[in-house]
């Protein structure tokens, strides 16, 4: 088990917290919390096996948030002295006094037990920042060579993002937590250029970003060598494939594609702040409004979706959120019916929903915590049902693999998605790749058409590093697990025709 970085533990976190929280109490704050946070983000980008760009940035600062006379106040800075921490508390209280006249309802926070001197470290083997940069570069170049040495591949793009996140949290109730998370996102893309026609085709690796360390690049959790060795032939088949005929098809959707549909049509739609209109000015609202809790038929009866901030290797997994809430797993959709939302302490109290389910997060010390997405996941069938079993039950359909472009409206209701690879299904068998495929539906129609899900052996944890929300904008990493799934009679578009080409 990895331990929290000694350099972070050496920072005077408790001294700074004591200064900030004591000053907030003196000024009459009914609640105050303090964060000392360090985020280190490194990226590598290779073009045709050669280094194209390299960055290694660190963001280290402190933040104070208060509730004063029923209003939020917030301030952040980089000076790590007790005097500076106390000044941040003063600034946060001043901000709360100004914002009070704009607040229609006093802020209340759902109750939460106190956790004294708690710590948590994510599940990883090797901190990627402990690997010499030359070794990271060499591994990416080695994997790039598996693609660039293949016939029909004209260019290869490779990238790696790695993140080390440390947070110390303390509040006036007595909770104190220290945590460390590591995550990595490797990506490889092969490109074939049509020099005669002026176009190009590309295909990307399916490996999802993961809450893992450097071991992910060397065979733990994903076999990059095997996947990239197969990719050139898959790209060549894609280039030769016929264009799809638009119409209605049964779709078998692989987890490498379905995770994104979950993110956009379920994950965002069941954030309670969005459903209550808090994000209307920027990120939109939700068709899944609060008055429909317990009654909205979200999908078919085999649809069961959970939010989980604890799952191993999940990008949104953490021991305690940025409001000092111990994280958990919770139901969002049960037997196709909306039964829960993602909550922070304010949303939980405002709607009388009991405890928060630990969904508060700030992406830097310079930002106030927002209600952010848990690892929202579709549960597999209890039966041992393979992807091949799902395909075998389809007479006329398409097997969808890998994510690509997407579009969804501001209420998370009407959408369309494309993918990396599409295979024609004829009489229960795969019959070669297709091109130019997009599937289109409304959220409830789509999930209502889900006829079967694969078993646990088909379940994969996908996700993204760059979920955006808030003003000013914040990004968060989040995972979505799901099995393969069968959807009946879904509208398929030809993207070339739709584009007027």
On the question of pLDDT at 76 being above 90, the answer is: yes
Given pLDDT bands bounded at 50, 70 and 90, which one contains residue 214? very high
**Co-location of 252 and 223 in the same domain:** no
Of 251-255, 277-281, 341-345, 449-453, which gets the smallest average pLDDT? 277-281
Number of domains in the chain: 2
Domain stops at, among 221, 240, 259: 240
Residue 416 near residue 436 (C-beta atoms within 8 A)? no
Torsion angles phi and psi, residue 428, rounded to 5: 80, 10
Cut 0.95: pTM above it:
yes
In this structure, the answer to whether residues 228 and 259 fall within a common structural domain is no
Q: For residue range 326-377, what is the model confidence (pLDDT) as tens digits?
A: 999 999 999 999 999 999 999 999 999 999 999 999 999 999 999 999 999 9
Same-domain status, 236 and 251: no
Residue 418 confidence (pLDDT) above 80? yes
Average of per-residue pLDDT across 165-174? 98
pLDDT of amino acid 195: 84
Phi, psi of 153 (to 5 degrees): -105, 115
Give one DSSP letter per residue of 324-383, joined into a string: SPBP-EEEEEETTEE---B--HHHHHHTT--S--S-EE-SSTTS--EE---EEEEPPPSS
Model confidence at 390: pLDDT above 80? yes
- Answer yes or no: do 215 and 361 share one domain: no
Are 481 and 369 in a shared domain?
yes
pLDDT of amino acid 199 = 84
Q: Indicate whether 191 belongs to any domain.
A: yes
On whether both 212 and 286 belong to a single domain, the answer is no
For residue 179, being part of any structural domain is answered with yes
Query: 195 and 303 in one domain?
Result: no
What is the DSSP code (8-state) at residue 263? I
How confident is the model over 214-225, as a mean pLDDT? 98
Range of the domain at 327: 247-498
> In this structure, what CATH number is given to the domain that contains residue 61?
3.30.2290.10
Is the same domain home to 224 and 274? no
The token duo for 427 is 């009489």
Domain C-terminal end among 206, 240, 274: 240
> CB-based contacts of 203: which residues, under 8 Å, 6+ apart?
189, 190, 231, 234, 235, 238, 402, 420, 421
On the question of pLDDT at 223 being above 80, the answer is: yes
CA 292 – CA 233 distance, rounded (Å) = 48
> Does the residue 444 lie in any domain?
yes
Q: Which parts of 120-201 fold into alpha helices (H)?
A: 133-148
**Assigned domain for 403 exists:** yes
> Do 329 and 299 share a structural domain?
yes
- In this structure, is residue 1 part of a structural domain? no
Q: Which residues contact 136 (CB under 8 A, 6 or more apart)?
A: 44, 128, 160, 214
Residues 226 and 261 in one domain: no
- 319 and 370 share a domain? yes
pLDDT at residue 194, as a whole number: 86
Residue in this structure with the two tokens 């379920």, named with its chain if needed = 266
80 confidence band (pLDDT: 50, 70, 90): very high
Residue 305 lies in a domain: yes
Q: Give me the half-sphere count of Cα atoms (radius 13 Å) on the Cβ side of residue 373.
A: 30
Cβ within 8 Å of residue 392, ≥6 positions away: 428, 429
Mean pLDDT of 441-459: 98
Q: Which of 240, 264, 285 corresponds to the end of one domain?
A: 240
Phi, psi of 434 (to 5 degrees): -120, 160
- Does residue 478 carry a pLDDT above 80? yes
Bond from prior residue into 67 cis (ω within 30 degrees of 0): no
Is 128 inside a domain boundary? yes
Q: Are residues 281 and 177 in the same domain?
A: no
In this model, does residue 1 exceed pLDDT 80?
A: no
**The sheet that has 375-378: what strands, in order across it?**
337-338, 329-334, 305-308, 375-378
In a domain, 277, yes or no: yes
**Six-digit token pair at 375?**
């690892």
């Amino acid at each position: 088990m990895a331990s929290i970085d000694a350099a972070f533990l050496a920072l005077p976190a408790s001294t700074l917290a004591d200064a900030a929280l004591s000053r907030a109490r003196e000024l009459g704050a009914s609640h105050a919390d303090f964060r000392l946070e360090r985020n280190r983000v490194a990226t590598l980008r290779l073009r045709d096996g050669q280094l194209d760009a390299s960055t290694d940035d660190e963001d280290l600062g402190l933040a104070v948030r208060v509730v004063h006379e029923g209003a939020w106040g917030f301030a952040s800075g980089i000076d790590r002295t007790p005097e500076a921490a106390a000044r941040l508390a003063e600034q946060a209280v001043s901000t709360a006094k100004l914002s009070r006249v704009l607040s229609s309802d006093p802020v209340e926070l759902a109750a939460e037990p106190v956790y004294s001197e708690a710590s948590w470290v994510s599940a990883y083997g090797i901190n990627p920042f402990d690997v010499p940069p030359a070794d990271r570069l060499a591994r990416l170049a080695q994997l790039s060579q598996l693609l660039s040495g293949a016939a029909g591949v004209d260019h290869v793009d490779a990238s790696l993002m790695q993140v080390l996140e440390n947070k110390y949290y303390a509040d006036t109730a007595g909770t104190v937590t220290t945590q460390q998370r590591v995550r990595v996102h490797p990506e490889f893309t092969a490109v074939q250029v049509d020099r005669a026609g002026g176009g190009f085709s590309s295909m990307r690796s399916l490996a999802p970003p993961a809450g893992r360390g450097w071991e992910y690049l060397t065979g733990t959790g994903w076999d990059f060598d095997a996947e990239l060795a197969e990719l050139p032939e898959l790209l060549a088949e894609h280039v030769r494939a016929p264009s799809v005929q638009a119409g209605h098809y049964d779709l078998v959707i692989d987890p490498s594609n379905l995770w994104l549909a979950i993110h956009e049509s379920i994950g965002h739609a069941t954030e309670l702040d969005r459903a209550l209109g808090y994000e209307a000015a920027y990120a939109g609202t939700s068709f899944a409004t609060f008055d429909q809790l317990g009654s909205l038929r979200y999908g078919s009866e085999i649809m069961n979706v959970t939010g989980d901030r604890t799952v191993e290797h999940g990008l949104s997994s953490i021991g305690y959120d940025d409001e000092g809430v111990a994280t958990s797993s919770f139901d969002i959709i049960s037997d196709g019916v909306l039964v829960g939302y993602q909550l922070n302490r304010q949303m939980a109290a405002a709607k009388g929903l009991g405890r928060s389910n630990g969904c508060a997060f700030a992406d830097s010390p310079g930002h106030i915590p927002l209600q952010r997405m848990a690892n929202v996941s579709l549960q597999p069938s209890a039966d041992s049902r393979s992807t091949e079993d799902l395909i075998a039950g389809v007479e006329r359909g398409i097997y969808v693999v890998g994510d690509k472009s997407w579009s969804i409206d501001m209420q998370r209701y009407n959408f369309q998605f494309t993918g990396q690879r599409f295979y024609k299904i004829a009489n229960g068998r795969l019959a070669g790749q297709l091109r130019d495929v997009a599937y289109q539906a409304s959220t409830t129609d789509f999930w209502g058409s889900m006829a079967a899900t694969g078993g646990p052996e088909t379940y994969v944890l996908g996700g993204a590093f760059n979920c955006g929300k808030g003003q000013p904008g914040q990004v968060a990493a989040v995972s979505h697990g799901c099995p393969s799934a069968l959807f009946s009679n879904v509208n398929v578009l030809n993207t070339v025709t739709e584009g007027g080409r």
